[in-house]
Amino acid sequence: MPSPAAVLTVSAPNMLLSASLNSFLLGLGTYLAYVWTRHLDTIAGTKDSRAIFITYVVSLTACYGIYELSGLVLVRRSYTSKKLDEKSSNFQPTSARDRGSTGGAGMP
């Protein structure tokens, strides 16, 4: 059983990187929403900022969806292999034929 300090030491960099990436993406989305709703980009046309924001939201949603689906596939694959391992380790032969008994001849 690992100690809590070891678990935190190993998992902290991943958690911090995930938090910083999510904060960056949230901040960028907020910035793009403000540019669109407050008409802060004077060079862009009237619909350009809205199109950029919609493209950002759609692409971000698609990327997070693909990421979550890949995580589900990994979890299901590991769960399935764990179930197969449990079934094979619980297998108990019941007859001489299942145990590989040769009847004294030395050949199956």
- Tell me the Ramachandran region of residue 106: left when phi exceeds 0, alpha when psi lies from -120 to 50, beta otherwise: left
Q: Over the stretch 1-43, which tens digit does the pLDDT of each residue have?
A: 889 999 889 999 999 999 999 999 999 999 999 999 999 998 9
Per-domain boundaries in the chain: 16-79
CB under 8 Å to 62, separation ≥6 — which residues?
none
State the pTM of this model: 0.64
> What's the CA gap between 3 and 24, in Å, rounded?
32
